[in-house]
Amino acid sequence: MPLALGSQIGPYEIVSLIGTGGMGEVYRARDTRLGRDVAIKVLPEAFAADPDRVRRFELEARAIAALNHPHICQIHDVGPGYLVLEYVEGTPLYGPLGVEEVVRLAVQIATALETAHRHGILHRDLKPGNILVTRNQGASYPPIAKLLDFGLAKSMVSTADATLTVEGTVAGTAAYMSPEQTQGKSVDARSDVFSLGAVLYELISGQRAFRGDTSAEVMSAVLRDKPRSLDASQLARVVDRCLEKDASRRYQTMAEVRAALEDAARVGKDREPSIAVLPFANLSADKENEYFSDGLAEEIINALTHIPGLKVTARTSAFAFRGKEQDIRTIAEALDVRTVLEGSVRRAGTRIRVTAQLINAADGYHLWSERYDRELADVFAVQDEIASAIAKALQVKLAGESVGRRRYTPSLPCYEAYLRALHESQKLTPDAMARSKEWYERAIALDPGFALAHSMFGFHFAQLANYGLLPAHEAMPLVRSEARKALAIDPSLPEGHATLGLVAGLYDYDWQEAARRFELAMAGDPVPSQVRRYYALYYLLPVGRAEEAVEECTRALQEDPLDLSGRLRLAQCLQAAGRLDEASSELRRVLELDENLWFTHFIWALQQLREGRLADAITHADTASTLAPWNPSAKGLLAAACRANGDIPRSEELLEKLRPGRAYGTPLALAMFHLACSEIEACADWTERAIAERHPAIFFFLRAHALALRTSPRWPALARQLNLTDPPVSSRDT
């Protein structure tokens, strides 16, 4: 029977009965020691003799105690048969609510669940009644969601199936359970994703997604019925994906749900003017002129980025739609823009014809279109004309009635060579990199005053060192030389300062100079997305500030959401931050778009080996080694995976290919191998050799994967060699 008002349970005086449920009665009580209100959950006497009920009650205490999050109800104390919880004065979260409030509260709930999942805890009973909304600080204060009742919580690392509470009874609340939970199958984070989708559906519509007169009818609806469609909004699409019957088709992690909700929040607002410039179609007889069409679109992008108040999608994301027959509205939705520029280029002899049309993504109608017939020598003037026309069409006020400060205009032959160099460098194979070098050299020979070409040529050599194609002692002096040439021409060039910051950090181990250079690189507005990535990868990550590196990579991707290289770099930073589920989501997304990027397979295999998923690690390491047979680290990683899986002969065969000649990159490859074999002393020895050859990838290895090495007695000496004992903090880092 309920406890009497005014009675004591331990040092707590019962004030009122808040509610009852299958897992216990909940009271409001007064903590007589600290003078505060608390909530007390008491296990009913009828259940006290039930070992399963007691076990679940104790599990809730451990589950809540493991979590510390502003949107999770906190535990204060525990006693025999009762829990003392934070008292939350609020109301259960029921709909319908406005879209803006739904998104705001949903992000809070998703963030709380993301934290729980990161600690290995599933909720398994997510429903409106287990979410309280409070306005404790006044009606004008934004509502705060608090996640309650982990009474059915389950550890994701438990080998026992805790889904069934008693024989023939499924734990949870029928209308919000996932199909797999309804069937009594084992569950993972995707089950909570489904439950959150059911909650959101109800918040938006005011009706349950799955209905019936009995629990059996509700469960049948969960298994078989598709809820009535909400609308065509982005938020509705998020809910639909959460409610997929097949768990593999849902969001795979709560982090993905949170990100999708944040995107929906941005779309739901009255957004700033935004545009994506698609690659211009090459209508010339010579298909080799495609690079010229791409270059024209890229330069228009560069000009538009200097327009105040205009959001411009970066090149990589916009160009991902090359050759794909998709509706403009679909493309705009994927890139989160309100307008799209498309066009074509026809080149004949010394003349070009450029057509451009600006399209309103909301309805597909043209806002503006124009045709330009010019001599090739006027191509840069054409770029400016198009950018100015777009600005007027979007009614964006420009300072001084111009499109902002243009970068240096190179000669046309130089510009063509530069575009070819960029085109080849994106392939990241030895042959393509060799061709890229030739085109950079030609561009610079044709126009030595083109600062950006010098800077990008310098980064070309840094890529060679990073991927094992050129020793760092040969590559990095060339990187430094080209960056200095760029800054001698244009002292404010962000890419030039960022490239020198890269050299200072990864080669000189001079973190004070690296901080200074990146401060200069990041001082402008806007900050190029590439520069933001440099800052994350070549300064923040090496000095151990992984969470900040994640933030910078995420910001870069907001400008360039389909940049596969950017997503790979974000995945590396997430690995270094210990956020492995999110890293896997990013890697999975990259492979869905391009399964032949060897580096994706490589860094995923590293993570899988770290997590003990040997079969997956071998698959991805084998693919990486096949796609990049020239990379020593790919061979070393595959050798380690084979050794861990008991395939000693193949492991030894791969190691033999690494040892002769001690080629550049071999020390890092062998450090990876010995780390995976838990041979820490040997790993430290080879790490010292990799440091001596200044391999730039050593920092990604140490920060993202070599946890055992960083906790060994050898780490302090290695850190001193890298000058990481007392990393500086620049003014922009504080």
Instruction: Specify whether 70 is located in the same domain as 106.
Output: no
- Tell me which H or E stretch contains 370: strand 366-375
Residues 36, 134, single domain; the answer is no
* Residue 408: strand, helix, or coil: coil
Please report whether residue 562 resides in a domain: no
Question: Does residue 722 surpass a pLDDT of 60?
Answer: yes
Q: Are residues 197 and 217 in the same domain?
A: yes
Write out the two tokens for 394. 């979007």
Q: For residue 59, give Cα distances in angstroms to 43, 65, 172, 347.
A: 13, 10, 15, 71
Check whether 157 has a pLDDT greater than 50.
no
Q: What percent of the chain has pLDDT over 70?
A: 85
d(CA 368, CA 359): 7
Residue with more model confidence, 329 or 581? 581
CA neighbor of 528 nearest in space, from 291, 316, 275, 280: 316
Domain shared by 242 and 292, yes or no: no
User: Is the model's pLDDT at 180 over the cut of 90?
Assistant: yes
CATH of the domain at 618: 1.25.40
Give, for 339, the enclosing helix (H) or strand (E). strand 339-348
Q: Is the same domain home to 264 and 136? A: yes
Task: State which of 215, 247, 268 marks the end of a domain.
Answer: 268
Average of pLDDT values for 599-608?
91
Using only C-alpha atoms, the chain has a radius of gyration, in whole angstroms, of 29
| Encoded tokens for 248 | 């593999």
Please report which helix (H) or strand (E) contains residue 687, including its range.
helix 680-692
How far is the C-alpha of 91 from the C-alpha of 683, rounded, in Å?
56
Question: Mean pLDDT lowest for which of 133-147, 352-366, 647-661?
Answer: 133-147
Quickly tell me which residue has 């393509």 as its tokens.
Answer: 432
Give the whole-number percent of the chain exceeding pLDDT 90: 30
Higher pLDDT, 561 or 219: 219
CA–CA separation, 621 and 633 (whole Å): 10
Q: DSSP 3-state assignment of 471?
A: coil
Lowest mean pLDDT: which of 7-16, 287-296, 537-546, 714-723? 287-296
Residue 351 belongs to a domain with what CATH number? 3.40.50.10610
Q: What does DSSP say about strands 274-277 and 311-312: parallel, antiparallel, or unpaired?
A: parallel
Q: Whole-angstrom Cα distance, residue 152 to residue 621?
A: 39
Q: Is the peptide bond before 96 cis (omega within 30 degrees of 0)?
A: yes
Q: How confident is the model at residue 670 (pLDDT cuts 50, 70, 90)?
A: very high
| pLDDT of res. 508 | 93
Determine, yes or no, domain membership for 671: yes
Query: Residue 21 pLDDT more than 70?
Result: no
Asked if residue 333 has pLDDT above 60, the reply is yes
Amino acid letter, 222: V
184 and 70 in one domain? no
Instruction: Identify whether 28 is part of a domain.
Output: yes
Q: What is the mean pLDDT of the chain?
A: 82
pLDDT at 337 over 60: yes
Determine the average pLDDT of the residues in 524-544. 88
Give the pLDDT band (50/70/90) at residue 63: low
Report the pLDDT value the prediction gives residue 400, as an integer from 0 to 100: 34
pLDDT of 376 higher than 80:
no
Residue 42 near residue 82, CB atoms below 8 Å: yes
pLDDT at residue number 324: 64
List the beta bridge partners of residue 29: 14, 38
Is pLDDT above 80 for 607? yes
Q: For residue 247, what is the domain's CATH number?
A: 1.10.510.10
As a whole number of angstroms, the distance between CA 654 and CA 284 comes to 48
Q: How confident is the model at residue 527 (pLDDT cuts 50, 70, 90)?
A: confident
Confidence at residue 727, expressed as pLDDT on a 0 to 100 scale = 37
What would the mean pLDDT of 334-346 be, rounded to a whole number? 83
Structural domain contains residue 577:
no
**Can you give the pLDDT at residue 23?**
62
Q: Are 590 and 599 in contact (CB under 8 A)?
A: no
Q: Which of 242, 268, 294 is the last residue of a domain?
A: 268
Domain final residue pick, 69, 86, 103: 86
Instruction: Please report which confidence band the pLDDT of residue 165 belongs to, taking 50, 70 and 90 as the band edges.
Output: very low
Q: What is the 3-state secondary structure (H, E, C) of 43-97?
A: CCHHHHCCHHHHHHHHHHHHHHHCCCCCCECCEEEEECCEEEEECCCCEECCCCC
Q: Which pLDDT does position 95 carry in this prediction?
A: 81
| 145: number of Cβ within 10 Å | 23
Say what the pLDDT of residue 730 is.
Answer: 39
Do 721 and 631 sit in the same domain of this protein?
yes
Are residue 113 and residue 198 in the same domain, yes or no? yes
pLDDT grade for 140, boundaries at 50, 70 and 90: very low
Statement: residue 361 has pLDDT above 80: no
* Total domains in the fold of the chain: 4
> How far is residue 648 CA from its own chain's centroid?
36
pLDDT at 387: 65
Answer for the pair 517, 497: CB distance below 8 angstroms, yes or no.
yes
Q: What 3-state DSSP class applies to 166?
A: strand
Residue 621, pLDDT score: 92
Does residue 162 have a pLDDT over 70? no
pLDDT at residue 94, rounded to an integer: 84
Q: By 3-state DSSP, what share of the chain in percent is helix, strand and coil, each rounded to 5?
A: 55, 15, 35
Section 516-536 average pLDDT = 86
Q: How far apart are CA 314 and CA 318, in angstroms?
A: 6
pLDDT value at residue 91: 85
| Residue 210 predicted with pLDDT over 60 | yes
Residue 541 lies in a domain: no
How would residue 383 be classed by pLDDT, with cut points 50, 70 and 90?
low
Residue 654 CB contacts under 8 Å (≥ 6 apart), including other chains: 635, 636, 638, 639, 642
Query: Do 237 and 194 fall within a single domain?
Result: yes
Helix (H, G, I), strand (E, B) or coil at 369: strand
Torsion angle, CA of 455/456/458/461, rounded to 10 degrees?
A: 170
Residue 477: other Cβ atoms inside 10 A: 13
Same domain, 66 and 131: no
Q: How far apart are CA 626 and CA 281, in angstroms?
A: 34
Q: Quickly state the pLDDT bin for 402 (edges 50, 70, 90).
A: very low
On whether residue 470 sits in a domain, the answer given is: no
Q: Are residues 28 and 139 in the same domain?
A: no
User: Cβ(340)–Cβ(360) under 8 Å?
Assistant: no
Q: Which two tokens stand for residue 577?
A: 């931050």
Q: Is residue 280 part of a domain?
A: yes
Quote the pLDDT of residue 167.
Answer: 31
Rounded to the nearest 5°, which phi and psi values hold at 29?
Answer: -140, 165
Strand partners for 457: none
The answer to whether the beta carbons of residues 49 and 58 sit under 8 Å apart is no
Question: Is the same domain home to 245 and 104?
Answer: yes
Identify whether 547 is part of a domain: no
Q: Which residue has the tokens 């450090």?
A: 671
Mean pLDDT in residue range 231-247: 87
What integer pLDDT is reported at residue 186 of this predicted model? 87
pLDDT at 60 over 90: no
For the ranges 119-123, 360-364, 408-412, the one whose mean pLDDT is highest: 119-123
Cα distances from 23 to residues 58, 122, 192, 508, 519, in angstroms, run 11, 17, 19, 61, 56
Confidence of residue 467 (pLDDT cuts 50, 70, 90): confident
Exposed (0-12), middle (13-18) or buried (19+): which is 580, by Cβ within 10 Å? Answer: middle
CATH of the domain at 42: 3.30.200.20
Residue-level pLDDT at 365 = 67
CA distance 34 to 86: 13
> What is the structure's pLDDT at 295?
75
What is the structure's pLDDT at 163?
A: 33
Average pLDDT over residues 440-451: 91
Q: What domain range includes position 607?
A: 596-734
Q: Which range among 127-141, 274-288, 458-472 shows the weakest confidence by mean pLDDT? A: 127-141
